[in-house]
Amino acid sequence: MRKTTFATDCYYHIYNRGVEKRVIFQGNKDYKRFLLGLEEFNTSLPTEIRSIQLPKTEAEPPEKLVEIVCFCLMPNHYHLIIKQTVSNGITQFMHKLGTGYAMYFNKKWKRSGILFEGNFKAKLIETDEYLLHLSRYIHLNPVDMINSHWKEDGIKDTNRVKKFLLGYYWSSYPIYIKKLTSHLISTEQIEKIITNVPNYEHFTLSYTSKDIATLMPLTLETPVPVHPEAEPPEDDL
């Protein structure tokens, strides 16, 4: 049982991965279903798993449990930065999100048992610098698919990484560089503190090997190789 008490109006890094490091997103529909859960489960009202895609009839939007700052979904794990906006909000949100997705995944892929590796991991983000550097790390996670040594070596082939990240739709990075719009993500806090570089894209792609000293204490996961062949297959949109 989780003993962590989350503080309202504080930011947290949230991480979880598949049990035994298994793939938890097997195709585009799985990624989309998880993203739908990020939106639909972020409410203080009870949410029926089978009804989350029904038309909304509320007169006004229900109270949100958390503010989602950024996300990145990888084949076998995910990262979130979220801020709790109501008491017990993170616990409620993550319970609904994890349970809802696991039920969907097990039914779709005809499996049973737990999907995630125990309780999600969480770490308090104590400073703006921590928040900024962590957002960059999370948004650079997909680079593992084309260069598993980027953390140690830095971003060498900037154009290749730039193109790859722009086409990776399972991250909030395209929202931060203004290539996509979404009401799911709140970008205001990051945009407020990134003042000494031209823009967020420049900040992200300027990661160098020297940044690893700042980066490593901020992460929650142990290294899990993700190679191009591990990328989930495309399925019908």
112-152 pLDDT, tens digit per residue, is 999 999 899 999 999 999 999 999 999 999 999 999 999 88
- Neighbour-count burial of 218, counting CB atoms closer than 10 A to its CB (0-12 exposed, 13-18 middle, 19+ buried): middle
Flag whether pLDDT at 231 surpasses 50: no
152-201 pLDDT, tens digit per residue, is 899 999 999 999 999 999 999 999 999 999 999 999 999 999 987 889 99
Q: What is the pTM of this model?
A: 0.86
Flag whether pLDDT at 2 surpasses 80: no
113-123 pLDDT, tens digit per residue, is 999 998 999 99
The tokens of 105 are what?
Answer: 């995944």
Q: What is the largest CA-CA distance in the chain?
A: 52
Confidence of residue 236 (pLDDT cuts 50, 70, 90): very low
| 7-125: CATH number | 3.30.70.1290
Give the pLDDT of residue 229: 36
Domain edges within the chain? 7-125, 127-219
Give the pLDDT of residue 114: 95
Confidence of residue 4 (pLDDT cuts 50, 70, 90): confident
13-72 pLDDT, tens digit per residue, is 999 999 999 999 999 999 999 999 999 999 988 876 555 555 555 556 678 999 999 999
